[in-house]
Amino acid sequence: MRFSSFCSVLFLAVELAVSQQIWDIWQTTWDRSGLFTSLAPSTPINFVSPGAIGMADIVVDDSEVFQTIYGFGGSLTDSAAQLFNNLKTKNSANYWTLLDYLFSPTDGANAAGLNYIRVPLGASDFSANTYTYATSPGDTSFSHFNINNAPSYVFSTLQDILSVNRYLKIHVLPWSPASVPGWMKNSGTMNGGSLTNASVAIYANYLLKCLQGFQSKGLTPFAISIQNEPMNSDTTYPSCSMTVAVEAQIGIAFRALMNDNGFGDVLLIGYDHNWSGVSTYAIPLIEAAPRHSLGTVNEQSTFQSAFPNYDILFTECTGTIGSDWWSDIKWYMDNIFIVGLGYGSSTGLMWNLALDGNGDPLLPGSDSCTNGCRGIVQINSNGTYSVNQEFYAMAQASKAIIPKDVGGPFGQRIGVSVGGELNWALIVGAAHIGDDTDNGTWDPVAVPTTIEFRGMQASYTFPVGVTTLWWFAPAPSFNAEEEDSYALYSETDGKQHPLRFFK
């Protein structure tokens, strides 16, 4: 394990180049002296004429522009929604304070501005019971489809979040479409199995009903996946395996239905599973390819190389109760929020938005999360809550990409490279620091860094932690009428990584 780690963000707006200044800094440090803390410098840090470079020298190139970042967040499972709803009942002030801290996109606010939420269609392994919207066998037109079979707290919580964050993007997907024997699935149960051949042709209609159901709640989805984990059939919780051929057949039919029914703008996502199946499933599927975190992030780059113009969404990863706080944050930055985005992801999502301190409530009988999954937030039955390491990692990232102005654009990744003595400095720093398991050699070393931007230079010393920096500069066209906002991620875990900047 290596330790020097930082993350930076730039924000540029219309100013004369000579007045490029770092205005705002958000920081989470390994020793928790900073916890998504705003350090807004009382004296802004000026960019000046370039002098000697620091031990690290970050060079930003905003003429290179990559993908737009859709956002960060997690899944509002039934369990998470139930806990949010309990909190609202128990302590409404805490509920609204928490929603604000998680989701408010207000510029400069002490809030993460999370804006991307994934929602299971029907029951998942984090539901009170297994239910479905389509309960009538043989109802191939889905005239008895009922969106209200979902607990009402799912929709009320989403509506409350939407009231806090107008940018909320909702991504829906089924774990399993039906539970009645002889209906839609060959297993006759929510848990495990796959679609019957006869159901393949009607499944696209089922998905359309789901979109319309959410739309009827004022929650039109931004994206929909055909199936959660199509390579996974588990007999202890809702799941439904699907071959590449079946998912492709459904995808083609469903895209046409979506386009004909006013959902032409909704992203259709195939292979919502893990990194490991990229070559065997995602690439054959040739649809957009979200993935879970199982496998290695490098496998994501295989897909990115094959399909550079497809969206890649990182959709799910969970913390496990009892794991090390700072090691987790480093892993999340290295695999999801910085490096994953470098491999083309437009989202970085964790699993349950909220769970209690035991990783509950879990679907009775489910064999998932046997070691206890941790939510982004812990909500307790007594009306209190706390945020976990998952929150800090994604809050630092989210602060970099939410629009600066109401209605403005989300961040786009832009070019950056690291020069000067950075390699040497950070590798040596890591060698001093040693392994995570060896407290005796822990010697966190801050990295004195220069940042080069458009012929100007700023200096900042990054502590071991995750840091988000904002600064202002003219739009690249130097057209004062045209404001552009930029953001930078930079990260190193002790050896050189490409840094990630966002426009």
Residue (205 or 380) nearer to ligand NAG, CB: 380
Residue 5 within binding range of ligand NAG, rule CB under 6 A: no
Q: How many angstroms separate the CA atoms of 418 and 497, rounded?
A: 8
Q: List, in order, residues 6 or more apart from 290 with CB less than 8 Å away.
A: 225, 269, 271, 272, 312, 313, 314, 315, 347
- Within residues 283-322, the interface with ligand NAG by CB under 6 A covers 294-295
Minimum Å gap between C-beta 59 and ligand NAG is 32
Report whether the peptide linkage leading into residue 361 is cis, meaning its omega lies within 30 degrees of zero: yes
Q: Within a 10 A sphere around the Cβ of 156, how many other Cβ atoms?
A: 15
Signed CA dihedral, 297, 302, 305, 310: sign only: negative
Residue 382 within binding range of ligand NAG, rule CB under 6 A: yes
Are the C-beta atoms of residues 10 and 486 closer than 8 Å to each other? yes
Residue (378 or 492) nearer to ligand NAG, CB: 378
Contact region with ligand NAG (CB under 6 A), list: 141-149, 158-166, 168-176, 377-385: 377-385
Out of 259, 384, 461, 479, point to the residue binding ligand NAG (CB under 6 A): 384
Residue (230 or 342) nearer to ligand NAG, CB: 230
Residue (276 or 459) nearer to ligand NAG, CB: 276
Residue (210 or 354) nearer to ligand NAG, CB: 354
- 54 phi, psi to nearest 5 deg: -80, -175
Helix (H, G, I), strand (E, B) or coil at 202: helix
Minimum Å gap between C-beta 126 and ligand NAG is 18
The structure tokens listed for 195 are 């679609």
Residue 455 gets the label, from left (phi > 0), alpha (psi -120 to 50) or beta, of left
Q: Within a 10 A sphere around the Cβ of 373, how many other Cβ atoms?
A: 22
Q: Which of 411, 415, 416 is nearest to 503 (CA)?
A: 411
Out of 45, 162, 231, 286, point to the residue binding ligand NAG (CB under 6 A): 231
- Within residues 338-357, the interface with ligand NAG by CB under 6 A covers 357
Residue (62 or 234) nearer to ligand NAG, CB: 234
Residue 444 within binding range of ligand NAG, rule CB under 6 A: no
Residue (20 or 232) nearer to ligand NAG, CB: 232
Residue 434 within binding range of ligand NAG, rule CB under 6 A: no
Residue 324 within binding range of ligand NAG, rule CB under 6 A: yes
Sheet containing strand 377-379, edge to edge, reads 354-355, 377-379, 385-387
Minimum Å gap between C-beta 35 and ligand NAG is 16
Contact residues toward ligand NAG (CB under 6 A) are 197, 231-232, 273-274, 276-277, 294-295, 324, 326, 357, 380, 382, 384, 436-437, 439
